[in-house]
Structure 1
Amino acid sequence: MMPSHRFAAFAFAALLSTFAGAAGVSAQTSASTTQPASFTLDNGLQVVVIPDHRTPVVTQMIWYKVGSADETPGKSGLAHFLEHLMFKGTEKHPAGEFSQTVLKIGGNENAFTSYDYTGYFQRVPRDQLPRMMEFEADRMTGLILKDENVLPERDVVLEEFNMRVANNPDARLTEQIMAALYLNHPYGRPVIGWRQEIEKLDREDALAFYKRFYAPNNATLVIAGDVEAKDVRPLVEKYYAAIPAQPAIPAKRIRPQEPTPAAPRTVTLSDPRVEQTSVRRYYLVPSSTTAASGESPALDVLAQLMGTGSNSYLYRALVIDRPLAVSAGAGYQGTSLDPTQFQISVSPKPGVEFADVEKAIDEVIADLATNPVRAEDLERVKTQLIAEAVYAQDNQATMARWYGGALTSGLSIEDIRSWPDRIRAVTAEQVREAAAKWLDKKRSVTGYLIKDTTTASKREEKRS
């Protein structure tokens, strides 16, 4: 049976890679009042230490610069599969010992896979950090896999696929939209993989992927909590410095890139289990790593203006001013190694036509692309974004996630810390330019989620 933390692991990845209905704070929004310390070992392991002395706990989080977008074609789901298998033990620490130790000392652990990275973390009492480092360093190179535990875990992943995707019409729509948005880039493959390819993954596939990508020079270690860099560095050197680098790993990841979008695309998913229809539109836009100067913060502000809260332009246009929808939102996932998505999601009221919803969406975009946003609205949303970044510093695990996600996606510590300043500098004209340039329908895929009444009717007939 799959441990509960394995389900949570993929759920976290899903939060990073799919739209949750409103603009969230991107991974680069943090601006810690304490300057994080950073150093790199001779074997290439980058280490970031984020002091937080409010509680005597510490989070160790190791990020590998490999995700589902780095998989060999035909092996989709391999990064996520290996994430599961990393809990199968080493010669020094048999399966279950690591997790049981974390539980016994009152800590918690988890793991997650996304398009650009795979991560593992433990949050434990401060004095247990050396023990956690010893465990994590051991499984960086010491993983032992046998068919008797690999094949059952593949079945666990397949069951996870059934729960998270196959039996979830909303997730299946996301899968189909992403596949249509990315014609050439591997972001078009779902993180969990395509079922027919997951079914063929085996021990040799997992071990080859592990040996290829899991190495100190392909990892970032983030330590956040009641520690200081001067105390952490000797521990890191003790447990991680002896691990050899993998020289075959390139300094920069090279992936197939998207051609310039030439035409809008649509996807319709019909399912008898749908209770709430929806319209979702994804635009292909630059990430914080690929954008020109000022573009990514402008997209952050644009998403906040359009789709966060009851004062957002989409919500007012579709829910308040006209009775077209029960909810409306927008989001921008800026933390991505390659071009990412700007997402709009609307849940229409019963009986409302999709065409009417799309017309209202297009009117909001057209107005933003033509007229500079009002000064009071601009200041309001910039204040909201910066405030969220400040409030989030109260969670050391969140800080570790933000730094790890950003650093493994091509950003620097300075990029992370200066994000609020870049938000403050966004002008109304930059927001208008972002809407006009990037929210072009040629760059979009629109997805429709509808109820399959034909199938539902047939089922009712069989019951009667």
Structure 2
Amino acid sequence: MLRVLNPVAALLLAVFAATAAGPAGAQVFRPTEFSLGNGLQVVLIEDHRAPVVQHMVWYRVGAADEAPNMGGVAHYLEHLMFKGTPGVPPGEFSKIVARQGGRDNAFTSSDYTAYHQLIARDRLELVMKMEAERMVQLSPPADEAKRELQVVLEERLSRTDNNPSALFSEQFDAALYLAHPYGRPVIGWPDVVSRLTLDDAMSFYRSHYAPNNAILVVAGDVGPAELQRLAEKYYGLIPMRPVPPRARVQEPPQLAERRIVMRDGRVAQPSLRRSYLAPSRSAGETQHALPLEVLAEILNAPAGRLYKALVEGDGPAASAGSWYSSLSLDPTSFGFGIAPKSGRSLDEAEAALDRVLATLLQDGVTAAELTQAKSVMLAEAVYARDSLTGAARLFGMALTTGLTVEDVEAWPRLVQAVTAEQVLAAARAIFDLRRSVTGRLLPRDQS
């Protein structure tokens, strides 16, 4: 099962890029939204082309909401959610879904945890019943919990400790965030995870897993009246509980450029990474978030500025890219990654990146670049409704990071309104080396 979701992963970027459809001002998904008496927020995106539904429960809690001495507990609890309730024995949840012809999974990020099932429309009631039960009656046996902790540690070993790129990312994030918990890995540091107990996980569960801290998102072949009936029947009986506020240590102002170098004998291709602290749509100088989305498209397009300056012709890079997602509860980052061509140095690649940014900060973007970026971003959304999973994930990510249904639906109009002046202002606000971290991942013997 996919257990950890990096908040800047490619999937997140791709899904967010596909949030617009049709002309500016048109609705994208035309969702139905309502709340139950116990505080559960419900969002429905109807799609009646096939008798299938995507059912997702999102909790407004993730790794960044953990106490420092409990790092990794949100992800550990995600594993334990498959380990038994009074009506579903340990390990049977996924088997039941599979026997019904469906697929299920879960993931944890810094800002949220989500559980989902893709299932035939006439099996929706079954998965709602099982998901509602584990919202309130999780009861993993102690021996199962102990074994699952070893599974988590083995997952960390295989996906992180045995992967120099993943280890480098951890070190990089720790340098980027000195105080904010975004600097901690979602899966947790090994020594902290190894000390977690079932009591730790259940305390986290009782504190955060409540209907008034959750969002039910359903996309597919079901109508509002039927979904409300089922939601009331299974989720509506769960009492609301007090939930602690999402009080996180905030990052102090960054005053100095930071640089890290990591060498590993398993590295064959050196690479360079740079990130700048940046606002999200929910935190920081939020007026810059959407212009930064447009700027990311301008820089990262197949024939965009990075490719032309760093890769094309005699450019020093074999590959160059940038990434930015505005969907985070707290301020986030705008990042770049470069791998040099054989025989070319990282110094050359970094100098080329600096030139691209210097030109951008001096001259801004052209009208043609702006028009092209908007066209691509809006045209991609024509296909957004083709994916039940993509639609449900987008709403879940947005709503757990401080946005509203209206914010999602307004995205096309807001993107269309972004000006070249706003893009330049956003670039000048964040592309300051004093607010950056630059990292190099090198073979062990490379200087």
TM range (shorter): over 0.9
Task: Give the 3 Å change call, closer, same or farther, for CA 409–27 of structure 1 in structure 2.
Answer: farther
Query: Take 2:170 and 2:241, find their aligned partners in 1: how far apart are those partners?
Result: 33
Dislocated runs of 4+, deviation >6 Å: none
- Once the two structures are TM-superposed, the CA of residue 432 in structure 1 deviates from its matched residue by 1.0
CA offsets 1:89-133 (integer angstroms, 9 cap, x no match): 112221133211111111000100000000000010001111111
CA offsets 1:22-48 (integer angstroms, 9 cap, x no match): 964527835564410111111110000
Q: Does 1:394 align with 2:386?
A: yes
**2:136 is matched with which residue: 117, 141, 153?**
141
Counting only pairs closer than 5 Å after superposition, residues 257-296 of structure 1 correspond to structure 2 as 257-292=250-285, 294-296=287-289
Q: Does 1:201 align with 2:174?
A: no
Q: Which runs of 5+ in 1 are unaligned?
A: 455-464
Query: Take 2:3 and 2:266, find their aligned partners in 1: how far apart are those partners?
Result: 26
The CA RMSD measured in Å over matched residues stands at: 1.6
SS of aligned partner of 2:97: helix
CA offsets 1:392-435 (integer angstroms, 9 cap, x no match): 22101110000001000000011101111111111111111111
SS of aligned partner of 2:397: helix
Q: Does 1:335 align with 2:330?
A: no
**Partner residue of 2:3?**
9
Q: Which runs of 5+ in 2 are unaligned?
A: 22-26
Q: Which amino acid aligns with 2:412?
A: P
Percent identity between the aligned chains? 47
**1:174 is matched with which residue: 169, 176, 181?**
169
Q: Does 1:26 align with 2:21?
A: no
Q: TM-score, normalized by length of structure 1?
A: 0.92
**1:217 is matched with which residue: 195, 207, 212?**
212
Query: Take 1:328 and 1:184, find their aligned partners in 2: how far apart are those partners?
Result: 29
Query: Take 2:442 and 2:10, find their aligned partners in 1: how far apart are those partners?
Result: 18
**1:48 is matched with which residue: 39, 43, 47?**
43
> Contact conserved, 2:267 with 2:442, CA < 8 A, in 1?
yes
Task: Give the 3 Å change call, closer, same or farther, for CA 177–167 of structure 1 in structure 2.
Answer: same
Query: Take 1:193 and 1:328, find their aligned partners in 2: how far apart are those partners?
Result: 29
**Partner residue of 2:433?**
441
Counting only pairs closer than 5 Å after superposition, residues 237-276 of structure 1 correspond to structure 2 as 237-247=232-242, 249-250=243-244, 252-276=245-269
Q: TM-score, normalized by length of structure 2?
A: 0.95
SS of aligned partner of 2:68: coil
> Contact conserved, 1:60 with 1:222, CA < 8 A, in 2?
yes
**Partner residue of 2:24?**
none
CA offsets 1:188-238 (integer angstroms, 9 cap, x no match): 000010011011011111111111100000000001100111111011000
**2:110 is matched with which residue: 98, 109, 115?**
115
Q: Does 1:419 align with 2:411?
A: yes
CA offsets 1:144-193 (integer angstroms, 9 cap, x no match): 12221111111111111011111111111111111011111100000010
> Contact conserved, 1:308 with 1:330, CA < 8 A, in 2?
no
**Partner residue of 1:162?**
157
Query: Take 1:23 and 1:201, find their aligned partners in 2: how far apart are those partners?
Result: 32
> Contact conserved, 1:23 with 1:303, CA < 8 A, in 2?
no
Number of matched pairs: 441
**Partner residue of 1:457?**
none
**1:323 is matched with which residue: 315, 319, 326?**
315
Q: Which amino acid aligns with 1:393?
A: R
Query: Take 1:158 and 1:175, find their aligned partners in 2: how far apart are those partners?
Result: 16
Counting only pairs closer than 5 Å after superposition, residues 445-464 of structure 1 correspond to structure 2 as 445-453=437-445
SS of aligned partner of 1:418: helix
Query: Take 1:60 and 1:389, find their aligned partners in 2: how far apart are those partners?
Result: 21
**2:32 is matched with which residue: 22, 34, 37?**
37
Deviates more, 1:377-386 or 1:31-40: 31-40
Q: Does 1:87 align with 2:79?
A: no
**1:376 is matched with which residue: 348, 368, 373?**
368
- Once the two structures are TM-superposed, the CA of residue 308 in structure 1 deviates from its matched residue by 2.8
Q: Which amino acid aligns with 1:197?
A: V
CA offsets 1:347-401 (integer angstroms, 9 cap, x no match): 1112322222111111111111111311111110111111222322210111000
- Once the two structures are TM-superposed, the CA of residue 291 in structure 1 deviates from its matched residue by 4.5
> Contact conserved, 2:18 with 2:384, CA < 8 A, in 1?
no
SS of aligned partner of 1:304: helix
SS of aligned partner of 2:311: helix
Q: Which amino acid aligns with 2:443?
A: K
SS of aligned partner of 2:43: strand
Task: Give the 3 Å change call, closer, same or farther, for CA 172–293 of structure 1 in structure 2.
Answer: closer
SS of aligned partner of 2:344: coil
**Partner residue of 1:460?**
none
> Contact conserved, 2:105 with 2:116, CA < 8 A, in 1?
yes
Query: Take 1:363 and 1:226, find their aligned partners in 2: how far apart are those partners?
Result: 51
- Once the two structures are TM-superposed, the CA of residue 453 in structure 1 deviates from its matched residue by 2.9
Query: Take 2:279 and 2:79, find their aligned partners in 1: how far apart are those partners?
Result: 31
Q: Does 1:431 align with 2:423?
A: yes
CA offsets 1:35-66 (integer angstroms, 9 cap, x no match): 10111111110000110111100011000000
